[in-house]
A and B are shown apart, each in its own frame.
Chain A
């Protein structure tokens, strides 16, 4: 699914990613953990194509495609989805309209027919119900006046509708209560299949209880300093990053 080799990226003249190697096979969920400022969000942005960041080295193969060579919308059409840590507000843009425009853009890219408003609403209502979200979430403007939890759930709703092959969740669990956390985990679990993989950036073991990862990686100083199975996350939860960091130094 995803093969990252020696990926380096900077913003301005500040180098943030200093050679990331990461392999996410088909059907696997990998967790990315690590102290603040280690480059976790940058990794998500670089994979999804935000051009504030300059890739200074390395390569990324996604289902055989040279991901770094593609425009953000082409990556989205190819199935890359980023759940934002701080979802953006779009005043005046109705959530349903936004979601339908996005879904249809992706369907067009796949040569599928576009959904009309009625078809889309039927689909969207089914998803909101499954995610235990109120229907009016679709009528409101994109993220405007949403609580922190609502914004995160809206990201999960978008993910559910767009059905990506690679989902990158950037601290989607932060600031969520336990019920909301479970909804996020369920959202990812529902997509799990041999053709779906996820990179889950998180600080907390809590999410990983519901969303058991195949692998856990610790990112620090722009490099992956340690990888392991689900037990690594539990170890970090208990003793913090200090030990891992000291070991790597």
Chain B
């Protein structure tokens, strides 16, 4: 029998997603070696080529070292002290919603994630018939537990399924694209991910198809001492169009947990991929105890002419965020965008930004980064804009703003700009401002409470980014910003 237990102290800490679901788990022994990788591969019923790829990645990873250039600081991670596979005890794989463990359904309900094929993110008031539909892939620890709307998507040729299933059912597509945007040896965490990734989403939008609904994946880490290594692959063929959302939460725990994801996007001629993230992993408590280490590699390749990849992220969670969603702009006149809000409070550390690699003629990129630091946190924007010799007439505009709350936090901006084509234009603007007594007093003198004043100022500061999010997500993100910054002033 499984029961759901709730940590009552979440009420005090402000992290209301911190409860733990008590469910019987199939857990691999701690440690990382070839046997564990074979076990993961066997649990996923993978073909031989996939296992070979994993083992190769593992041997590659063993030769690599953790990157040290980011402005983050943490005790050494013991990679042998983690579980690399954790799944609810029930046969994974395709199933109808009726077969999903009711405890899990309850948990997703509590998180406001619609696993019934009608609902939408909770908290938005609208006529049920007018609510836009969202297809959800729910990943719980190492497995996908449910994917909704698959049949209606299949009717227009869109494949939306757990990546473990895609490896079995669409091996040609997976082999053709997996690891082509983020190669195994790209970095330490991408190599680790390639060796041990367990689940994530696979989306394939065929030529000329505009995906009829938003696709989304909801990641939940639940098991103790378990790393989550998700892998997502999205392919938009020529003229295809897709908007994808991702959300993440984890229980509140004293120990740190590792999350090392790899996301690859591929856009062909005239294709558009819009990728939105609301990252809300448990950030640790006010003394910096616990929280997720979030080491993520996200990259999109604009392979086709006039293709477009747009990243929008609202990052409020994780003890450490190390994440640079990037675009490789290969196609002529291709477009890359990065809109980011990163909030750090207490002892959180975020080193996040983007890379825009301009290869194609006339490629354009826009970077809008908003960093908000409060408490004793450190918030770094790190961004690279590279114009290669072939990028004739390419343009980039970067706007990088920092907002400080209090006087014990840090905001840092580290732009790298390399231009090897004299016709390319790169612009970088940066500002730093403070929510200071003056601003707060002005608002309070007009009748606003301190909290309303902070929300108003923060939302104003983030507006350019929030407006890039799909409506429902923007509402959630605003609430999340308010909750994250509660009590950070004064």
User: Hey, which chain B residues are within 8 Å of A102, CB to CB?
Assistant: 443, 446-448
User: Hey, which chain B residues are within 8 Å of A94, CB to CB?
Assistant: 460
Picked from B445, B448, B459, B462, the residue with its CB within 8 Å of the CB of A49 is B445
CA distance A90 to B448 in the complex (A): 14
Residue in A closest to B462 when the chains form the complex, CB atoms: A92
CA distance A93 to B464 in the complex (A): 11
A88 x B442 contact (CB < 8 A): yes
User: Hey, which chain B residues are within 8 Å of A71, CB to CB?
Assistant: 444
A158 x B442 contact (CB < 8 A): no
CA distance A101 to B448 in the complex (A): 7
A90 x B447 contact (CB < 8 A): no
In the complex, whether B28 has a CB less than 8 A from a CB of chain A is no
User: Hey, which chain B residues are within 8 Å of A103, CB to CB?
Assistant: 447
One of B5-13, B189-197, B390-398, B432-440 contacting the partner: B432-440
B457 x A73 contact (CB < 8 A): no
Query: A88-B439, A90-B439, A105-B452 given as contacts; is B446 within 8 A of A162 (CB)?
Result: yes
User: Hey, which chain A residues are within 8 Å of B447, CB to CB?
Assistant: 73, 76-77, 102-103, 105-106, 109, 162
B448 x A87 contact (CB < 8 A): no
In the complex, whether B108 has a CB less than 8 A from a CB of chain A is no
User: Hey, which chain A residues are within 8 Å of B456, CB to CB?
Assistant: 90, 93, 97-98, 101
The interface residues of chain B, by DSSP majority, are classed as helix
Residue in B closest to A77 when the chains form the complex, CB atoms: B447
Range for the number of chain B residues in contact with chain A: 20 to 34
A52 x B437 contact (CB < 8 A): yes
Which of A92, A103, A105, A162 has most chain B Cβ within 10 Å? A92
In the complex, whether A50 has a CB less than 8 A from a CB of chain B is yes
CA distance A97 to B448 in the complex (A): 12
User: Hey, which chain B residues are within 8 Å of A93, CB to CB?
Assistant: 456-457, 459-460
What is the 8 Å Cβ interface bit string for chain A, positions 37-54, against chain B (1 contact, 0 not)? Answer: 000000000001111100
In the complex, whether B80 has a CB less than 8 A from a CB of chain A is no
CA distance A75 to B449 in the complex (A): 11
User: Hey, which chain B residues are within 8 Å of A72, CB to CB?
Assistant: 441, 444-445
CA distance A47 to B439 in the complex (A): 18
In the complex, whether A146 has a CB less than 8 A from a CB of chain B is no
CB of B373 to closest CB in A, whole Å? 17
In the complex, whether A141 has a CB less than 8 A from a CB of chain B is yes
Q: Which of B263-289 contact A (CB under 8 A)?
A: none
CA distance A158 to B439 in the complex (A): 16
CB of A169 to closest CB in B, whole Å? 13
Which of B438, B446, B450 has most chain A Cβ within 10 Å? B446
In the complex, whether B461 has a CB less than 8 A from a CB of chain A is yes
A73 x B442 contact (CB < 8 A): no
In the complex, whether B106 has a CB less than 8 A from a CB of chain A is no
User: Hey, which chain B residues are within 8 Å of A49, CB to CB?
Assistant: 441, 444-445
Residue in A closest to B456 when the chains form the complex, CB atoms: A93
B446 x A158 contact (CB < 8 A): yes
B461 x A92 contact (CB < 8 A): yes
CA distance A217 to B437 in the complex (A): 30
In the complex, whether B428 has a CB less than 8 A from a CB of chain A is no
Residue in B closest to A108 when the chains form the complex, CB atoms: B447
In the complex, whether A84 has a CB less than 8 A from a CB of chain B is yes
In the complex, whether B463 has a CB less than 8 A from a CB of chain A is yes
In the complex, whether A82 has a CB less than 8 A from a CB of chain B is yes
Query: A52-B437, A98-B456, A105-B452 given as contacts; is B444 within 8 A of A92 (CB)?
Result: no
User: Hey, which chain B residues are within 8 Å of A101, CB to CB?
Assistant: 448, 452, 456
Q: Which of A125-150 contact B (CB under 8 A)?
A: 141
A88 x B438 contact (CB < 8 A): yes
In the complex, whether A243 has a CB less than 8 A from a CB of chain B is no
CA distance A100 to B439 in the complex (A): 17
Q: Which of A53-85 contact B (CB under 8 A)?
A: 71-73, 75-77, 81-82, 84
User: Hey, which chain B residues are within 8 Å of A52, CB to CB?
Assistant: 437
Q: Which of B407-458 contact A (CB under 8 A)?
A: 433, 437-439, 441-450, 452, 456-457
Picked from B441, B443, B460, B462, the residue with its CB within 8 Å of the CB of A50 is B441
User: Hey, which chain A residues are within 8 Å of B441, CB to CB?
Assistant: 49-51, 72
B448 x A92 contact (CB < 8 A): no
Residue in B closest to A158 when the chains form the complex, CB atoms: B446
CA distance A50 to B40 in the complex (A): 61
A92 x B452 contact (CB < 8 A): no
B445 x A82 contact (CB < 8 A): yes
Which of B433, B444, B446, B447 has most chain A Cβ within 10 Å? B447
In the A-B complex, list the 5 residue pairs whose CB atoms are closest, starting with the nearest.
Answer: A92-B460, A93-B460, A102-B446, A76-B447, A88-B442
Question: What residues make up the interface of A, taking CB atoms closer than 8 Å to B?
Answer: 48-52, 71-73, 75-77, 81-82, 84, 87-88, 90-94, 97-98, 101-103, 105-106, 109, 141, 158, 162
Q: List 6 A-B contacts (CB under 8 A).
A: A51-B437, A73-B448, A88-B439, A91-B461, A93-B457, A162-B446
Beyond A76-B446, A103-B447, list 19 extra A-B contacts (CB 8 Å).
A49-B441, A49-B445, A50-B445, A51-B437, A73-B444, A76-B444, A81-B445, A82-B445, A84-B442, A84-B445, A88-B439, A92-B457, A92-B459, A93-B457, A94-B460, A98-B456, A102-B443, A102-B447, A141-B460
